[in-house]
Amino acid sequence: GAVVSQHPSRVICKSGTSVKIECRSLDFQATTMFWYRQFPKKSLMLMATSNEGSKATYEQGVEKDKFLINHASLTLSTLTVTSAHPEDSSFYICSARDFGYSYEQYFGPGTRLTVT
Amino acid sequence: TQLLEQSPQFLSIQEGENLTVYCNSSSVFSSLQWYRQEPGEGPVLLVTVVTGGEVKKLKRLTFQFGDARKDSSLHITAAQPGDTGLYLCAGGNEKLTFGTGTRLTIIP
């Protein structure tokens, strides 16, 4: 089956620093990847759509200068949380859509970010 | 904005009982997916339904897509502790809109 990995799985950083999260599709090519944020006991909220070779599309209310997304290859997208603050602490999840299928997204295991 | 409301929000039942989770919207979706998510992990895709009225079975889980493609249901027969988790429906084509979630706990 389609496998998506995320690295790191957990990260703790100090307020004001930047953190990069990687999302990789391991056994398929993904022209499109998605980044979600999930608050405790809540559902997933789409932050942005990452397209290989072009700029990401951000959802309303998501600051693109704070959450930098780069999709440099068909198997890798990165999310950089810049100048992190405690309110950025959350569970970040990426997903990738298999180029050959229209509907299904496969999700990574998530990254728990804690900003102190 | 497309919204997906799930009910119930929380459900705690004894092992062996049956249950149904609902996913409702005022919008029409070209497809709907159901996911299960365990704490600290990403959602795992269970099924995709595409055709109005479609019924799909996955062992003890039965998924149905409404005729008008605005709603879906998940029925679990003889629930087991391993079914415990957060169940999420999601709809959309280019990008997914997730439902509000149903947190299911099966008590041994």
Q: For B17-26, how does the pLDDT look when each residue is reduced to its tens digit (9 = 90+)? A: 999 999 999 9
pLDDT tops 80 at residue A30: yes
| pLDDT given for residue A52 in this prediction | 83
List CB contacts (< 8 A) between A90 and chain B: none
Contact assignment for A49 to B95 by CB distance below 8 Å: yes
pLDDT at position A99 is: 65
| Cβ B32 vs Cβ B89: under 8 Å | yes
Contact between chains at A107 and B43 (C-beta distance less than 8 A): yes
Res A102: pLDDT: 58
The whole-number average pLDDT for the span A58-71 is 94
Cβ–Cβ gap B40/A46 under 8 Å: no
β-bridge partners, A22 = A7, A78
What token pair was written down for A25? Answer: 């599709």
At residue B77 the predicted structure's pLDDT band, cuts being 50, 70 and 90, is very high
Residue with tokens 């997208």: A77
Q: Is residue A58 less than 8 Å (CB to CB) from chain B?
A: no
Provide the mean pLDDT of chain A.
91
A 38-57: CB under 8 A from B = 41-46, 49
- To the nearest whole Å, the CA of B63 is away from the closest chain A CA by 16
Average pLDDT (B5-14) is 96
Residues 6+ apart with CB under 8 A from B1: none
Chain B residues close to A44, C-beta within 8 Å: 43, 88, 98
- Of B6 and A31, the structure prediction assigns the larger pLDDT to B6
Distance CA B13, CA B15 (A): 7
